[in-house]
Structure 1
Amino acid sequence: MTLESALSFFVVVVIFGLTPGPGVFAILARALMDGARPCLALAFGMAISDILYLVAACLGLAVIATHWGELFTVIRIVGAAYLIYLGWKMWQAPTDVEAMERKAKSSGVALSFLQGFLISASNPKVILFYIAFLPTFMDLGALSSTDIVLASVLTLIGLMLGLMLIAVFASQARRYFRSHTAIRRLNRGAGSIMVGAGAFLATRN
């Protein structure tokens, strides 16, 4: 991978990270409820899952997406159900600021990472993105381990940058919601976004 192709690949990954989808909706909902910091582990989990798809695409495992469609359908439905469950939990979230802050602090990093990983892993079409764009940036016929490592690092940095930009902007908007009524609307709005993301994922073909 040349310097020019590496920079181009990085820009495309950042744009991909900003593109609306289940992962972006999850980051948006979490940042609106808990602020930007709790989104770090969530975004990291998504990035790691994406990197696994990237490596799979690099190693020629795209055949899984075409021949194991039933498995990916199960993964997609489970992921959609999980997003809807998270949305329901957000609807029932407390409406006082102190309780929200305690909830944010009590959310384990490992759990947030797992949530992010599952959200991204439940969208197998991510691999199609890498399958479509990788030939533009590297010679897959002469692919080296260095190329795979470089692409993985660029993907990690690019996705984290894109997702955390969304988290920061959403967190800034959150500061304007301090009353019980506003927080209730915020919780239900974020929950509706998450349920919508689950429904969107469930209806994807």
Structure 2
Amino acid sequence: MPPLALLTFFALMVSLAALPSASVALVVTRSATLGFRNGAAVAAGIVAADLIFASLAIFGMVSLAQTFGGVFALMRYAAGAYLIWIGIGLIRAGQTTPATPAATGAATLAKSFLAGLFLTFGDLKAILFYASLFPTLFDLTRFGRTDYLLILAITTITVGGVKLGYALLARTLVERWKSTRVTRPVKTIAGSVLIGTGGYVILKS
């Protein structure tokens, strides 16, 4: 596989992962309100979905994904509704209660992981993105096991690394200005952002 193609893919994935999006909003909010581990769990869910999408594209299963587009639509609606639910909870918590300690239980981490997974699964266009990108950058007729593993590794490092960076930054800022006066407005703002993001996820085509 040409090194230039790999570098181009790496740079493109970093740039796309860093763009403001619903996934970034979810990572930042979960990390800021529940702790870095929850932000990392969301990032892991996003990466897992991206790896599945990349695999579908590489193995020529885009048509299968399009056939089951209704399933992906349901996942998008569920993810959007979940974002709205989290946002409402944050607004209520910011108005009525002081800051709570970070939640790191297995159940909470699992919810964060699934939130990132289903949010990304809801975007069927991601498969089409990979399907159109790979033939442009790579010769898929000569695509071997090593090439496939390289793609998965780059996807994990770029998407996961950027999302973890957002999670760490969000938690660092919260810890630096940790007080009820600061935390309550932050929760209200974060909740409003998630509600808006959830609405966008549900309504987008």
Structure 2 length-normalised TM? 0.87
- Segments ≥4 residues shifted beyond 4 Å: none
Aligned partners of 2:48, 2:173: CA distance in 1, in Å?
28
Conserved? CA contact 1:33–1:186, under 8 Å? no
Tell me the residue number matched to 1:134. Answer: 134
Aligned partners of 1:96, 1:112: CA distance in 2, in Å?
22
Conserved? CA contact 1:30–1:38, under 8 Å? yes
Tell me the residue number matched to 1:105. Answer: 104
Q: 1:4-40 CA deviation, whole Å, 9 max, x = no partner? A: 2222211211112112222111012123323434311
Tell whether 2:195 aligns with 1:202.
no
Q: Do the aligned partners of residues 75 and 112 (structure 1) sit closer, same or farther apart at CA in structure 2, a change above 3 Å counting? A: closer
Give the Å deviation of 1:122.
1.9
Tell me the residue number matched to 1:81. Answer: 81
Conserved? CA contact 1:29–1:193, under 8 Å? no
> How do 1:37-76 residues align onto structure 2 when only pairs under 5 Å count?
37-76=37-76
Answer 1 or 2: higher relative contact order, Cα 8 Å, separation at least 6: 1
Give the Å deviation of 1:171.
2.4
Aligned partners of 2:25, 2:124: CA distance in 1, in Å?
17
The amino acid that maps onto 1:168 is L
Residue 76 of structure 1: SS of its match in structure 2?
helix
Aligned partners of 1:63, 1:77: CA distance in 2, in Å?
22
Tell me the residue number matched to 1:27. Answer: 27
The amino acid that maps onto 2:103 is A
Q: 1:122-163 CA deviation, whole Å, 9 max, x = no partner? A: 222221221222123211233222222210111011111111
Tell me the residue number matched to 1:96. Answer: 98
Identity of aligned residues (%): 28
Give the Å deviation of 1:199.
0.8
Aligned partners of 2:109, 2:37: CA distance in 1, in Å?
11
Aligned partners of 2:142, 2:179: CA distance in 1, in Å?
59
Gaps of 5+ in 1: none
Conserved? CA contact 1:35–1:170, under 8 Å? no
Give the Å deviation of 1:73.
2.0
Q: 1:97-133 CA deviation, whole Å, 9 max, x = no partner? A: 4xx21x4234643332222212211222221221222
